[in-house]
Structure 1
Amino acid sequence: MPAYHSAFNDVPDVRLIGNMSALPLKTARMGAASPANPNEADIIDEALDLFRANSLFRNFEIKGPADRLLIILILFVSDCLAKIGSARNVPSKIEAGKMLNTLAVDNFPIPGDSTFPLNAHYASPSSRIDADYLRSYIQQARVELVNRLIEILYADGTGKPSKWWMSFQKRRFMNRSLG
């Protein structure tokens, strides 16, 4: 059975940076991403929906530019779960939010940087302006992903993260990690 791919691979009129899509996001924050229709799913929703199924796969055939963004987001979800799981005490929703928001805005490599773990699959941005836009876009996507992930993890109201989600903290999609 093959891995699940992005439904946004064939969306027309999307900005490409290198060979990765910069898709619209449903967010109230100002940033590099263009606003998406709030009534439809965006790439963040898709990454959260496909995370558990795709984290079981070691191989992933990239079928389009949105798949490259999906890979980065799924790997970031893995890093978020690992960060919560490695905390000495089980963090509350507020503590986890602070911890993950810090992780989201920390300095991170983008495609083309020497420390980016998947450079073989990504093209570098063509200019410094594109690189700055890509960094800003990915940071905005990471912050939005953290906000939605926290709501999912702590949805049951017990003050502890969902055991179902936390069971995936040691799984590595494509045997990779962004951290």
Structure 2
Amino acid sequence: MPAYHSSFNEEPDVRVVGNMSILPIKTKVRGPAPIADSNTADIIDETLDLFRANSLFRNFEIKGPADRILIVLILYVSDCLAKLGTLRSSPSQLEANKLLNTLSVDSFPIPGDATFPLNSHYAPPGSRADSEYLRQYLVQVRQEVAARLVERLYADGSGKPSKWWMSFQKRRFMNRSLGT
């Protein structure tokens, strides 16, 4: 059974930095990302919907530039769950929100940096301006992923993270981690 790929691979008129798509997102977080229509799914919805299924795969064939952003976001969701899983007790929704928001804005490598774990699959940005734009876009997307992940983790109203999501905290998509 093959892994699930991004439905945004065939999107026309999408900016590409390096070889990653800069896709529109629905967000309240300030940043350079184009704004998506609020009635349609964006890359973050797709990432959270495909996370649990794709995290079971060790291999993933990249079929387009949107798959590259999907990979980075799936690995980031995995790091978020691992971060929440390392706490001694289950964090409240507010604590989880603060912790993951801090994680999303912490320093992290981007394609082309020496410490980026997937450099063999990603092209570095063409210029310093593109590099800074990609970093700002990824910070904005990571903040939005963290906010939406917390909403899904605490959707049942029990005040504890969903065991169905937390059971994936030790799973490693493609046996990789962003190391954040």
Q: TM-score, normalised by structure 2?
A: 0.99
Q: Name the counterpart of 1:75.
A: 75
Distance 2:166 2:126 in 1: 38
The two structures, once aligned, show a CA RMSD in angstroms of 0.5
Residues 105-158 of structure 1: CA deviation (Å, up to 9, x unaligned) = 000000000000000000000000000000000000000000000000001111
Kindly state the Cα deviation for residue 88 of structure 1 after the two structures are TM-superposed: 1.5
Distance 2:117 2:28 in 1: 30
1:44 maps to amino acid: I
Does residue 84 (structure 1) correspond to residue 84 (structure 2)? The answer is yes
Does residue 50 (structure 1) correspond to residue 54 (structure 2)? The answer is no
Q: Name the counterpart of 2:14.
A: 14
Distance 2:29 2:43 in 1: 16
Distance 1:164 1:28 in 2: 27
Equivalent pairs, count: 179
Q: Name the counterpart of 2:159.
A: 159
Kindly state the Cα deviation for residue 28 of structure 1 after the two structures are TM-superposed: 1.7
Distance 1:121 1:105 in 2: 24
Contact 2:29/2:143 (CA < 8 Å) preserved in 1? no
Distance 2:118 2:81 in 1: 20
The structure 1 segments of at least 4 consecutive aligned residues displaced by more than 4 Å after TM superposition are none
Distance 1:29 1:108 in 2: 18
Kindly state the Cα deviation for residue 89 of structure 1 after the two structures are TM-superposed: 1.4
Does residue 106 (structure 1) correspond to residue 109 (structure 2)? The answer is no
1:149 maps to amino acid: L
Residues 11-37 of structure 1: CA deviation (Å, up to 9, x unaligned) = 000000000100001012221101000
Distance 2:48 2:30 in 1: 22
Distance 1:153 1:102 in 2: 17
* Helix, strand or coil at the partner of 2:120: helix
Distance 1:28 1:168 in 2: 27
Q: TM-score, normalised by structure 1?
A: 0.99
Long gaps (5+) in structure 1: none
* Helix, strand or coil at the partner of 1:47: helix
Contact 2:154/2:161 (CA < 8 Å) preserved in 1? yes
Kindly state the Cα deviation for residue 160 of structure 1 after the two structures are TM-superposed: 0.3
Q: Name the counterpart of 1:169.
A: 169
Q: Name the counterpart of 1:25.
A: 25
* Helix, strand or coil at the partner of 1:78: helix
Distance 1:119 1:150 in 2: 29
Q: Which moved more, 1:21-30 or 1:160-169?
A: 21-30
User: What's the % identity of the aligned pairs?
Assistant: 73
2:10 maps to amino acid: D
